[in-house]
């Protein structure tokens, strides 16, 4: 009986352990568990501990898995040409974006109009002024939920326990603003061929930009987001699977074809990377690196305390890899990621992985360009260099 209960307890513990990608740690845990089974006293402690720990673990896991239902706003975007109040009511906060303030230049709709969407980092102010004063370039600045909210909206400022960290609500915010701008340009007579969409992202804003591009590249994987933005969902009785309507899918493909340049600086592509950049988290014991274990724990704790963050959502680096693998639906013509040699904000633990992704992509000889550059010494220099590169690209 003791052995049965102990095995059952260990199964429950190991099931939860699978959520944490620290393979070496839990391999040793599995190896030592067999010896514990034969010790009745130890078995009793395991059973008691499991009995206490299982309900909160199960409740926390269920809560986090079901959490996506509450992250997105309850309302749907009511119009393809919404007002600032419509957007504020839809998102549940003020992003500081007003479509009526968009000045359409050039007036000749047969010329190309260039638009650039600027996604700042967590707690950042607007540091991209050199581009915002350029003529014939429509610069769109806005705020994410509890990311800054002070220089545009007079809001409460950045809050780690309310910010979405580039996840679904931030993706919805960016896509809402992109679609509102895109539809206004079309309403003013610009054809799809003459609309040139560009993106600049830094840190958390860069992660949100990557996630948004993935949502555009594979829209049927993100039906909940597109449904909120007004797309229709149709049911296929034969294959028992829902998908976007063909009309909406075609509209999203047309939107993707308008995206030209994507420039990001010091992107926050993984929460584990952020934790790795903190020296107190860099430690090893018996040759086992506990970095990813601590990162996953931190994500779960953040998910339990932050109503807009889900630790089970893919990281931006995972979405970027998914984008690059699909050579047919690439949502850009050129994407450049610039990294700082010494990044004290998000760290450098993912730099090699990003550079490997760029090398593998280049070897495929795809027409769209994807580059990862390790250049500037520090983060602020990287931002400046990236904005200058984008400025050159927009003026070409």
CATH code for the domain of 202? 3.40.50.1820
Residue 320 lies in a domain: yes
Do 31 and 107 lie in a common domain? no
Tokens for 241? 């699977």
Residue 246 lies in a domain: yes
Query: pLDDT (tens digit, 0 to 9) for every residue of the chain, 396 residues total?
Result: 444 444 444 444 444 444 444 444 445 444 555 554 455 666 666 666 666 756 665 565 555 555 555 567 777 887 888 999 999 999 888 888 999 888 777 777 788 899 999 998 887 655 554 454 456 688 898 888 877 655 555 556 677 777 888 899 999 999 999 999 999 999 888 999 999 999 999 989 999 999 999 999 999 999 989 999 988 766 655 444 678 888 999 999 999 999 999 999 999 888 776 765 554 444 444 434 556 666 777 777 777 778 888 888 899 999 999 999 887 778 999 999 999 988 887 888 888 999 999 999 988 877 889 999 988 888 888 888 888 898 888 887
Residue 384 lies in a domain: yes
Decide if 376 contacts 343 (C-beta within 8 A).
Answer: no
Please, which residues have CB within 8 angstroms of residue 326's CB and are 6 or more apart in sequence? 217, 218
Residue 282 lies in a domain: no
Decide if 301 contacts 336 (C-beta within 8 A).
Answer: no
Do 11 and 86 lie in a common domain? no
Spatial CA neighbour of 124 closest among 97, 94, 151: 151
What number of residues does the chain have? 396
Rounded to an integer, what distance in angstroms lies between the CA atom of residue 95 and that of residue 177? 9
Q: H-type helices in 147-270, by residue range? A: 168-187, 204-217, 223-228, 246-257
Write down the residue that tokens 């449904």 correspond to: 227
Do 40 and 182 lie in a common domain? no
State the DSSP H helix or E strand holding residue 372, giving kind and residue range, or none if neither: strand 369-374
Cα distances (angstroms) measured from residue 361 to each of 86, 109, 321: 41, 36, 10
Do 38 and 126 lie in a common domain? no
What does the pLDDT read at residue 198? Answer: 96
Do 12 and 81 lie in a common domain? no
Rounded to an integer, what distance in angstroms lies between the CA atom of residue 234 and that of residue 241? 9
Do 111 and 58 lie in a common domain? no
Do 89 and 158 lie in a common domain? yes
Rounded to an integer, what distance in angstroms lies between the CA atom of residue 59 and that of residue 79? 38
Please identify, among 12, 40, 65, the residue that sits at the C-terminal boundary of a domain: 65
Residue 46 lies in a domain: yes
Do 335 and 381 lie in a common domain? yes
Residue 239 lies in a domain: yes
Do 46 and 149 lie in a common domain? no
The structural domain count of the chain equals 2
What does the pLDDT read at residue 306? Answer: 80
Please identify, among 21, 37, 65, the residue that sits at the C-terminal boundary of a domain: 65
pTM here? Answer: 0.80
Task: Identify the burial level of 250 via C-beta atoms within 10 angstroms of its C-beta, where 0-12 means exposed, 13-18 middle and 19 or more buried.
Answer: exposed
Spatial CA neighbour of 290 closest among 269, 274, 303, 272: 272
Residue 70 lies in a domain: no
Do 49 and 147 lie in a common domain? no
Do 44 and 175 lie in a common domain? no
Residue 267 lies in a domain: yes
Decide if 177 contacts 95 (C-beta within 8 A).
Answer: yes
Domain that holds residue 28: 2-65
Please identify, among 65, 85, 110, the residue that sits at the C-terminal boundary of a domain: 65
Do 187 and 50 lie in a common domain? no
Cα distances (angstroms) measured from residue 289 to each of 21, 23, 25, 278, 281: 11, 10, 9, 14, 10
Please, which residues have CB within 8 angstroms of residue 341's CB and are 6 or more apart in sequence? 348, 374, 375, 376, 377, 378
**How many alpha carbons fall within 13 Å on the CB side of residue 156?**
8
């Amino acid at each position: 009986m003791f052995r049965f209960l102990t095995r059952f307890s260990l199964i429950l513990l190991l099931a939860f352990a699978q959520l944490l990608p620290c393979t070496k740690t839990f391999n040793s845990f599995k190896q030592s568990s067999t010896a514990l089974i034969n010790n009745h006293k130890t078995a009793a402690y395991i059973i008691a501990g499991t009995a206490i720990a299982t309900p909160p673990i199960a409740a926390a896991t269920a809560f986090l898995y079901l959490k996506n239902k509450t992250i997105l706003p309850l309302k749907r975007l009511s119009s393809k040409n919404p007002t600032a109040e419509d957007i504020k009511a839809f998102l549940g906060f003020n992003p500081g974006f007003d479509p009526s303030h968009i000045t359409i230049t050039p007036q000749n709709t047969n010329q190309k109009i260039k638009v650039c969407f600027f996604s700042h980092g967590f707690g950042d102010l607007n540091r991209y002024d050199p581009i915002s004063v350029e003529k014939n370039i429509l610069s769109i600045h806005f705020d994410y939920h509890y990311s800054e909210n002070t220089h545009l909206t007079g809001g409460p400022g950045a809050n780690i326990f309310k910010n979405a960290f580039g996840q679904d609500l931030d993706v919805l915010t960016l896509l809402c603003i992109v679609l509102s701008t895109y539809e206004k340009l079309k309403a003013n007579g610009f054809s799809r061929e003459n609309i040139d969409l560009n993106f600049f992202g830094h840190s958390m804003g860069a992660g949100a930009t990557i996630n948004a591009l993935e949502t555009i590249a594979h829209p049927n994987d993100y039906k909940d987001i597109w449904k909120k933005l007004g797309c229709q969902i149709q049911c296929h009785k034969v294959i028992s699977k829902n998908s976007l309507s063909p009309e909406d899918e075609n509209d999203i493909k047309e939107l993707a074809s308008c995206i030209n340049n994507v420039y990001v600086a010091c992107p926050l592509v993984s929460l584990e990377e952020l934790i790795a950049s903190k020296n107190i988290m860099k430690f090893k014991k018996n040759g086992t690196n506990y970095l990813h274990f601590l990162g996953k724990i931190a994500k779960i704790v953040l998910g339990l305390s932050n109503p807009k963050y889900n630790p089970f959502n893919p990281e931006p680096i995972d979405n970027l890899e998914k984008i690059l693998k699909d050579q047919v639906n690439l949502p850009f013509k050129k994407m450049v990621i610039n990294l700082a040699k010494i990044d004290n904000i998000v760290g450098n633990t993912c730099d090699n992985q990003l550079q490997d992704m760029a090398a593998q992509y280049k070897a495929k000889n795809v027409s769209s360009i994807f580059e990862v550059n390790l250049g500037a010494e520090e983060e602020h220099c990287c931002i400046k260099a990236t904005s200058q590169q984008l400025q050159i690209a927009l003026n070409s």
